[in-house]
Amino acid sequence: MADAVPFHPTEPIRSEAAASLAAFKALLLRDLTVLKKNFGIFAARTIIQPFLLVFVFLYVFPQIGQGIGGSQSTGESSFATVLVAGVVGLSIMFQGIQAVALPLANEFGYTKEIEDRVLAPLPVSLVAIGKVVAGAIQCLIAAIIVFPIALVVHAQGVHPHLSVHWLVLIPLIPLACIMTSSLGLVLGTRIEPRNISIMFGFIVLPITFLGGTYYQWTTLSAVKVAGFSWLQALVCINPLIYVTEGFRAALTTAPHMHLYVIFPVLLALCALVLWAGIVGFRKRVLN
């Protein structure tokens, strides 16, 4: 008879860090599997708003003689150039909020799924970061889906003038995706599930219309009171303005906010909203 292998109950099979990493990967894989299963719904949800924006502004309006930017094709093309970058930034912002805030509202409110997640063998903060990473991946996919639509849907004679600056675009995309999904984490943990619909009216809509989607930040200098460009200063509290201006710098030759403002502010916003989201997540879970 073979000798029994001695068993040491106090000896860990794997380190705590390895167990946390394995659990983090499993939770992330679960979210991506759900995304793959529901990709049709995800794609439709991602496409509908930017498609309608460019269809109405860049196809219908020029066709009926109400083109924005002037009745000449050069003015309409200039507006198309501004709008394409804005639509890509807006899509990332919307996707970041929808991919994180809305599922969290359900998991905290009705399904209580969040209780299963925090039982995984990893710190609660990593569960929150996993939500942000999954949301950021969805933001990246949204940008890839939306850009061709914004590029090709326009009336005859209307041509957005694009020039891709890869050195700006490559670092900008992950920063924008992480910042917007972190913002979704903040909203999903700070707003009660029963009030989540109010979020779109009082938070998302102002962010959208004052986020530089339809105009350049530099042009707001013309809106003055007593010689002060108040609107140009006011929109600086809107995180979307740095995303849309960043994509304007990365995808076009149109005037935009200086890059030495865009990147430091985006980095600071990433750190701030991610920290606020993790704090809110821990508070909701532990209470």
pLDDT digits (tens, 9 = 90+) for 226-250: 889 999 999 999 999 999 999 999 9
Kindly state the tokens that stand for 51.
Answer: 């498609």
Mean pLDDT, residues 168-177: 94
Number of CB atoms found within 10 A of residue 199's CB: 18
User: Rounded CA gap, 89 and 150, in Å?
Assistant: 11
The predicted structure's pLDDT at residue 5: 56
Q: What share of the chain is helix, strand, coil (3-state, %, to 5)?
A: 75, 0, 25
Q: pLDDT tens digits for 23-64? A: 888 888 888 898 888 888 888 888 887 888 778 877 787 777
User: CA-based angle 256:50:143, to the nearest 5?
Assistant: 70
The predicted structure's pLDDT at residue 1: 47
The predicted structure's pLDDT at residue 241: 95
Residue pair 88/251 in contact by the 8 Å Cβ criterion: yes
* Percent of the chain at pLDDT exceeding 90: 29
The predicted structure's pLDDT at residue 71: 53
User: Rounded CA gap, 55 and 220, in Å?
Assistant: 25
Q: 183: buried, middle or exposed (CB in 10 Å: 19+, 13-18, 0-12)?
A: buried
Kindly state the tokens that stand for 247.
Answer: 């994509």
**pTM given for the model:** 0.85
User: Rounded CA gap, 89 and 222, in Å?
Assistant: 23
User: Rounded CA gap, 112 and 92, in Å?
Assistant: 27
Kindly state the tokens that stand for 167.
Answer: 């050195």
Rg for the chain (alpha carbons), in Å? Answer: 22
Q: pLDDT tens digits for 80-137? A: 888 888 888 988 998 888 889 888 888 877 777 777 777 778 888 888 999 999 999 9
The predicted structure's pLDDT at residue 237: 94
Residue found under tokens 């719904």: 41
DSSP per-residue codes, 179-221: HHHHHHHHHHHHS-GGGHHHHIIIIIHHHHHTTTSSS-GGGGG
User: CA-based angle 95:43:81, to the nearest 5?
Assistant: 65
Residue found under tokens 């990967």: 25
Residue pair 277/132 in contact by the 8 Å Cβ criterion: yes
